[in-house]
Amino acid sequence: MEPFVYSPPKTPLDILYIDEDVLVVNKPSGLLSVPGKELKHWDSLELRVKAQYANSLLVHRLDMDTSGVIIFALNKSSQRSLNLQFEQRVVKKIYEARVFGYINKNNGSIDLPLKVDWPNRPLQKVDIKEGKDALTHWHVLKRERNATRVRLMPETGRTHQLRVHMMSIGHAILGDRFYGNAIEINLAKDLQLHAKKLMVNHPKSGKSLELISKVPF
């Protein structure tokens, strides 16, 4: 694996939705969700959002290389409500990805427990005995020459869950510098994984919010 050099995109905030309680942003690939430990890794979506919305509060994260929908709360009450929805798995998440190879089946599920691979952290690995439960449903959208476009629907939110699960069935996500081989990595400039849709209940009104971001690949 090549040495990591953090070079986040300098694109302006892409706001998908905002009201007095909730702010929804489209995160670009290559930008950390939260500041890293070192000063050179501080640039992040959280700090960029706070620069414009000082009262914004983080609710969840996406991997640095993953693009798509992230929701922020704009007050403590909304943050508590949204955090609870994530904890109780009320939130529905839909991702779109391009994975290596040709998937013959039209849909399926991957039920493989995950745990951190300590010697190689932050990488994760499948561990049947000690891993935490992780469940992903997938559905083929389109078959391409060297890849398959899929919809991914995780029921759990483990670190790198979608990336490890797809790699574990022989179809790593294109551009995945952590879990792909040289061919899979070089088939795409950026990780081909996008958080396309997030469905939550509005923290104040209780009405269903369907938050959608256009897939960039």
pLDDT band at 217 (very low <50, low <70, confident <90, very high): very high
- The Cα 180–Cα 118 span in angstroms is 19
In three-state secondary structure terms, 93 is: strand
Q: For the domain that residue 177 is a member of, what is the CATH number? A: 3.30.2350.10
Task: Mark whether 63 is an active-site residue.
Answer: yes
Least Cα distance to 85 among 166, 28, 22, 15 occurs for: 22
The one-letter amino acid code at 36 reads G
Least Cα distance to 165 among 195, 192, 187, 138 occurs for: 138
Whether 144 is in a domain gets the answer yes
Joined together, the tokens standing for residue 124 give 């994760």
Whether 103 is in a domain gets the answer yes
Catalytic residue selected from 19, 63, 117, 133: 63
The per-residue pLDDT for range 81-114, each reduced to its tens digit, is 999 999 999 999 999 999 999 999 999 999 999 9
Whether 157 is in a domain gets the answer yes
- Give the domain extent around 102: 95-193
Whether 24 is in a domain gets the answer no
The structure's pTM equals: 0.94
Separation in Å, CA 57 to CA 45, 78, 80: 11, 9, 10
**Total domains present in the chain:** 1
pLDDT band at 3 (very low <50, low <70, confident <90, very high): confident
- The Cα 195–Cα 189 span in angstroms is 18
Whether 40 is in a domain gets the answer no
The per-residue pLDDT for range 115-165, each reduced to its tens digit, is 999 999 899 999 999 999 999 999 999 999 999 999 999 999 999 999 999
pLDDT on residue 4: 79
Whether 156 is in a domain gets the answer yes
Which of 33-40's residues contact partners 24+ apart within 8 Å by CB, and which partners? 33/58, 33/61, 33/62, 33/63, 33/64, 33/70, 34/58, 34/61, 36/6, 40/6
In three-state secondary structure terms, 27 is: strand
Whether 28 is in a domain gets the answer no
DSSP for 128-190, please give it: TTTPBP-EEEEEEEEE-SSEEEEEEEESS--TTHHHHHHHHTT-PBTT-TTT--HHHHHT-SS
